[in-house]
Amino acid sequence: MKAVKEISYEIVETSNIFDPRNPELGKIPGGRRCPGSRLVVMDESVDRLFGSRVRKYFQFNGIAVKYLTLAGGDEHKTVDQMLRVASRLTEVGTDRVGTPPIAIGGGVVQDVVGMAASLYRRGVPYVRVPTTLLGQIDGSVSAKTGVNYEGCRNRLGTFAPPPRTLIDRSLIATLPERQVRSGLGEALKMALIKDPYLFTLLEEYGGQLVADRLQDTGTAAASRPGREVTRRAITAMAEELQKNLWESDLKRIVDYGHTFSPIVEMTALPELFHGEAVAMDCVFSAVLAARRGLLPPEQLRRIIATVRGIGLAPTHSMFGDADVMNQALTDTMRHRDNHQYLTLLRNIGDTVFADDITEEEIRATARAIDRLHHHPETNAADLCSTRLAGTPH
């Protein structure tokens, strides 16, 4: 037997999403409506900042809803939290199609609610309203849901794209600066693997993007880099996912920055945010590529400078620990059917896959990163030199 299921889901850019006269938030994907209530799950901070506007919105529009508030942060991305959503779906009386829940929050709330919805009655549709930069430029396009389990990131999860995702960039205006920087870590990843122009925007406007929280400060192009960065990052992600939504091809350039970081992220939780760890992995992998003679040192220099310009740290002590890095690669290979399929940069915006990285190469890269960690002034050419790799700091 062979069955084909066509998937289509929309990502809608809107503004003033909680304005009662904006119909987007209340729309039911597919148009089928049941008389019952819909569950609205809000992130704790979102509830504090926007909760009263959200409540007014549904009241004004005569849409029956009930609420659940969940904590954000990866330490709360748990099975228990996911089951709380499932229980609440029952209390609310969620139907098969006509009362899709709405998740308003960062990547954590999106992943938790998405997973609950995908399991509930073997799958009910849901609506996603990402409120963090990371959620808007990365999670928004993704088909994946999940929770962390037994110390592993996203160990339990499903493929379940919601039929509707709403993006309102103004929601980012209340985000703490550190969260904005973390989100830009994912934008940097997209830039490095496929969009040199996006990279130049991050290179030129890194600090400004953070200070303005990607909001427009005027109408001239130079006062709107946030708009361009958001759109380009989302478009690039959508292009990549569209051709491989179910990840039947395990060679994915979008996994750049996600090979060595998961183990560090889980071990260092809650000290490190996702995008922070991703940016560090991007640097580690760039050093590896440069040491192979693939990436020119000058490009490596620009990458590290841009990471710093955004206000992100290029390294963490764990990336300088060769044993941890080798373990990270081994763990990630299990996720890639025992292949490395490591994306390496040949240039900013140009990649190649490697499947022959040696343990010694990882060791030498970790030594170079350790050097960068302890001596931030180390220049890119020195990071690539074989001599340095042998010298203890």
DSSP-H helix ranges across the chain: 44-60, 79-92, 107-119, 133-137, 177-194, 196-211, 225-242, 261-268, 274-291, 297-310, 322-335, 359-374, 380-384, 386-390
Long-range pairs, 116-123, Cβ under 8 A, ≥24: 116/82, 116/83, 116/85, 116/86, 116/89, 117/85, 117/89, 117/145, 117/160, 117/162, 118/145, 118/158, 118/159, 118/160, 119/86, 119/158, 120/86, 120/89, 120/94, 121/94, 121/96, 123/160
Number of residues binding to ligand NAD, judged by CB under 6 A:
30
What is d(CA 78, CA 213) in angstroms, rounded to the nearest whole number? 29
Query: Is position 107 an interface residue for ligand NAD (rule: CB under 6 A)?
Result: yes
Is position 142 an interface residue for ligand NAD (rule: CB under 6 A)? yes
In this complex, which beta carbon is closest to ligand NAD, that of residue 68 or of residue 294?
68
- Residue 134 or 188 having the CB closest to ligand NAD: 134
Q: Closest distance between ligand NAD and the C-beta of residue 280, in Å? A: 15
Q: Which of 47, 74, 95, 168 binds ligand NAD (CB under 6 A)?
A: 74
Which region, judged by CB under 6 A, interacts with ligand NAD, from 68-76, 279-287, 346-354, 363-371? 68-76
- 139 near ligand NAD (CB under 6 A): yes
All residues at 6 or more sequence positions from 145 whose CB lies less than 8 Å from its CB, including other chains? 110, 111, 112, 114, 115, 117, 118, 157, 158, 159, 160
138 binds ligand NAD (CB under 6 A): yes
From 99, 131, 230, 261, residue interacting with ligand NAD (rule: CB under 6 A): 131
Rounded distance between C-alpha atoms, residue 97 and residue 29, angstroms: 9
Catalytic residue among 5, 27, 56, 144: 144
Which of residues 38, 47, 72, 288 is near ligand NAD by CB under 6 A? 72
Q: How many residues does the chain have?
A: 393
Structure tokens at 85: 């959503």
Distance CA 147, CA 332 (A): 17
51, 100, 106, 185: residue in contact with ligand NAD (rule CB under 6 A): 106
Cα three-residue angle 178-365-152, rounded to 5 degrees: 55
Q: Which residues between 153 and 172 bind ligand NAD (CB under 6 A)?
A: 154, 171
Stretch 172-231 residues interacting with ligand NAD (CB under 6 A): 174-175, 179, 182
Helix axes 225-242, 177-194, angle to 10 degrees: 50
49 scored as a contact of ligand NAD (CB under 6 A): yes
Cα separation, 133 vs 278, in Å, equals 14
Q: Which is nearer to ligand NAD, 45 or 351 (CB)?
A: 45
Residue 141 or 389: the one with the smaller Cβ distance to ligand NAD is 141
Does 43 engage in binding with ligand NAD (CB under 6 A)? yes
Cβ closest to ligand NAD, residue 95 vs residue 168: 168
Q: Are 237 and 255 in contact (CB under 8 A)?
A: no
Residue whose pair of structure tokens reads 């969940």 in the numeric block:
70
Tokens of 293: 């003679």
Judge whether 144 counts as a catalytic residue. yes
- Residue 255 binds to ligand NAD (criterion: CB under 6 A): no
Which one among 109, 233, 280, 312 touches ligand NAD, defined by CB under 6 A? 109
Residue 105 binds to ligand NAD (criterion: CB under 6 A): yes
- Tell me if 108 contacts ligand NAD by CB under 6 A: yes
Candidates 103-111, 159-167, 190-198, 244-252; binding stretch for ligand NAD (CB under 6 A): 103-111
Residues annotated catalytic, as ranges? 144
**Applying CB under 6 A, which residues contact ligand NAD?**
43-46, 49, 72-74, 77, 105-109, 111, 131-132, 134-135, 138-139, 142, 144, 154, 171, 174-175, 179, 182, 274
